[in-house]
């Protein structure tokens, strides 16, 4: 099957994806937003808490201010600059349909040029035409526009071109979180629970989708927590109190109050900040560890986005929705030194997080963390020395606010070299031969990292490049559980609960994290095929061998997208290869990579269950 635009892989919680090369092998900078640009959060919400004095010292060094206002693009895939986003806003402001009311901007991003044109482009060529794609909301309607920055014109405009709505903006979240305080039923319930309104924090998680009767409305559920005596309000839910809010009218469509008998969990020992820890950990002292690079890092970043390290070259940028996007990945051939294509583009396309509780205040919790909140929008500054080691290079994200102005997401991505004592390759001889060989080589890799704080959870993304041609993609999970208030102090019959009792009055509700990646492989060019290498048990013939059975690899090249859909089975194992059938190694094998899934799982929800209908991409693992 000649490769279409991309392939997708879906794994659960912590994903490790090894892309293994076949037959090929044997200047730091730091930044903060320019002072004239907007930021989406207040200064207090951007505060960094560190667990070492050294980190706070380096933090100042890592966030040296640079001026983004004069930057220009150098590569066809470079993200929109501050000047370009300002130009988009000017063009929209004079556009006749928006002349009376400027729309709420949800996304302004590069409308990437055609892939064929990008592949033909080389440094020194004239930059390809720059266009912006705008996703805006006006009078309850979604507007998708293409803005030609060279001609200062709008070349396409579609209204409600597809189902669904744009991701939540900062303004949406802030507006919805204020709605409860002007609702009489809510204030009455809060007073009855004895919670001062000054101690409340309300958040608007998405409402999911539960049938045609919800079409035509942009709604969220608003839940509230007590922040009394702790910043970790997630551990103090006001259980059973839920409001369904229309985001366009800010009207409360439904009020549910079912949990007044459930106490608010205590704040004792919930503060996770390092400065709040008063008890010494019950472990031996850990001495400081420092990895030195006396000559500095080995990688360099050219023109702001082109990363060069060892035998790798790739384009790296921040993205409003995906968080981190890797493009135009090439590796240098060890024999002739030529750069060879590996992947055109890779990024996390969606997170599906369904919770398994049927209560009125829980059934709807089936989040799409990328599509509903934006991984880039949720990425707060990385903490030097703790999130990223010394000698890291920091990259900012430049996005648009709801009013269309540019803002900087500072220190959103970091690049660093990793050495953790791992072995890249080794072999020893000497026991049975005259060769006395002790050969071992350390494993040094390059990591591109981004962390997104989506509500209570923090996702850590690592794209790790190895000198042997492997790419290792990891997603780590940190932060806090989303918990449910409970009347129990001791665990009752756990089979009757939606999860274990993890503390007094708190249940950790069972849930999944499905991570889906978009991988547009271009191994030695665009003519790529997906191969399912099925491992089949064969039985030996009578008298053929003392062995009774063995495994045989049977290759099946997918001819359609349907053929490439895979359900992983423990007792029907397969390997998955992406090959270029038109490119051969010196032995006659097609060049390619092996796609190796890490921790995987299948969704057990019924296919007609509303959350699963919305996330049907998790019906298969590939």
Active-site residues, by number, are 369, 457
Comparing C-alpha atoms, which of 542, 524, 529 is closest to residue 584? 524
**Cβ neighbours of residue 576 under 8 Å, at least 6 residues apart?**
530, 531, 532, 533, 566, 594, 595, 596, 597, 622
> 87, exposed or middle or buried, with CB in 10 Å at 0-12, 13-18, 19+?
middle
* Chain centroid offset of residue 553 CA: 35
| Residue written as token pair 């080995």 | 298
Contact 38, 405 (CB under 8 A): yes
Dist. CA 470–CA 15, nearest whole Å: 15
Show the tokens assigned to 389. 């080691």
Number of neighbours of residue 268 by Cβ within 10 angstroms = 11
Dist. CA 145–CA 132, nearest whole Å: 8
Dist. CA 121–CA 422, nearest whole Å: 38
Ramachandran angles phi, psi of 166, nearest 5°: -65, 160
Dist. CA 197–CA 177, nearest whole Å: 13
Dist. CA 318–CA 406, nearest whole Å: 14
Cα–Cα distances (Å) from 605 to 10, 401, 513, 574, in that order, read 15, 37, 13, 24
DSSP string, 93-132: HT-GGGSSSPPEEEEEEE-PPPHHHHHH--BTBPPPPPEE
Dist. CA 371–CA 162, nearest whole Å: 14
Comparing C-alpha atoms, which of 366, 464, 454 is closest to residue 415? 464
Comparing C-alpha atoms, which of 309, 320, 339 is closest to residue 522? 339
Q: What is the DSSP letter of 136?
A: E
| Residue written as token pair 């030529």 | 338
SS3 82: helix
Query: What is the edge-to-edge ordering of all strands in the sheet holding 153-159?
Result: 104-110, 131-138, 141-148, 153-159
Alpha-carbon torsion, ordered 489, 495, 496, 502, to 10 deg: 30
Dist. CA 355–CA 268, nearest whole Å: 26
**Cβ neighbours of residue 314 under 8 Å, at least 6 residues apart?**
306, 307, 326, 327, 328, 329, 330, 465
SS3 62: helix
């Amino acid at each position: 099957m000649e490769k279409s635009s991309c392939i997708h892989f879906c794994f659960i919680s912590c994903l490790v994806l090894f892309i293994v090369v076949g037959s090929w092998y044997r200047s730091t900078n730091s930044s903060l937003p320019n002072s004239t640009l907007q930021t989406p959060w207040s200064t207090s919400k951007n505060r960094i808490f560190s667990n070492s004095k050294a980190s706070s010292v380096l933090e100042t060094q890592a966030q040296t201010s640079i001026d983004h206002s004069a930057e220009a693009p150098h590569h066809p895939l470079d993200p929109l600059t501050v000047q370009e986003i300002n130009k988009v806003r000017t063009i929209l402001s004079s556009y006749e349909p928006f002349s009376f009311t400027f729309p709420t901007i949800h996304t302004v991003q590069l409308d990437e040029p055609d892939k064929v044109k990008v592949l033909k482009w080389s440094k020194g060529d004239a930059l390809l035409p720059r266009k912006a794609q705008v996703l805006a909301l006006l009078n309850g309607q979604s507007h998708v526009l293409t803005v030609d920055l060279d001609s200062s014109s709008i070349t396409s405009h579609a209204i409600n071109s597809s189902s669904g709505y744009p991701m939540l903006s900062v303004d949406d979240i802030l507006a919805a979180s204020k709605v409860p305080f002007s609702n009489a039923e809510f204030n009455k319930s809060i007073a009855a629970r004895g919670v001062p309104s000054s101690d409340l924090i309300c958040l608007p998680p998405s409402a999911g989708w539960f049938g045609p009767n919800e079409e035509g409305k942009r709604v969220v559920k608003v839940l509230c927590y007590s922040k009394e005596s702790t910043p970790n309000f997630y551990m103090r839910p006001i259980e059973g109190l839920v409001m369904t809010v229309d985001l366009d009218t800010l009207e409360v469509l439904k009020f549910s109050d079912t949990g007044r008998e459930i106490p608010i969990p205590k704040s004792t020992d919930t503060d996770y900040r390092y400065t709040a820890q008063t008890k010494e950990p019950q472990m031996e002292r850990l001495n400081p560890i420092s990895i030195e690079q006396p000559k500095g890092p080995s990688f360099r970043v050219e023109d702001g986005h082109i990363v060069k390290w060892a035998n790798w070259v790739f384009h790296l940028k921040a993205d409003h929705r995906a968080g981190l996007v890797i493009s135009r990945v090439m590796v240098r051939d060890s024999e002739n030194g030529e750069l060879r294509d590996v992947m055109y583009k890779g990024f996390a396309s969606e997170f599906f997080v369904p919770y398994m509780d049927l209560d009125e205040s829980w059934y709807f919790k089936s989040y799409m963390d990328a599509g509903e909140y934006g991984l880039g929008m949720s990425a707060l500054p990385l903490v030097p020395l703790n999130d990223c080691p010394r000698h890291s290079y920091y990259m900012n994200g430049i996005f648009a606010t709801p009013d269309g102005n540019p803002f900087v997401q500072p220190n959103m991505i970091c690049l660093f070299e990793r050495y953790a004592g791992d072995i890249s390759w080794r072999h020893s001889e000497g026991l049975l031969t005259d060769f006395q060989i002790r050969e071992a080589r350390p494993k040094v890799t390059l990591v591109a990292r981004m962390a997104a704080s989506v509500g209570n959870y923090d996702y850590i993304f690592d794209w790790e490049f190895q000198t042997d041609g492997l790419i290792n993609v990891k997603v780590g999970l940190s932060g806090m559980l989303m918990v449910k208030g409970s009347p129990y102090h001791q665990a009752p019959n756990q089979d009757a609960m939606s999860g274990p009792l993890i503390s007094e009055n708190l249940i950790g509700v069972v849930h999944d994290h499905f991570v889906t990646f978009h991988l547009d492989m271009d191994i030695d060019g665009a003519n790529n095929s997906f191969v399912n290498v099925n491992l089949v048990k064969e039985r030996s013939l009578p008298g053929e061998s003392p062995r009774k059975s063995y495994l045989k690899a049977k290759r099946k090249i997918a001819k359609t997208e349907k053929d490439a859909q895979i359900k992983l089975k423990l007792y029907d194992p397969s390997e998955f290869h992406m090959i270029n059938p038109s490119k051969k190694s010196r032995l006659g094998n097609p060049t390619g990579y092996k796609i190796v899934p890490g921790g995987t799982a299948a969704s057990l929800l019924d296919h007609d269950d509303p959350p699963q209908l919305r996330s049907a991409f998790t019906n298969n693992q590939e």
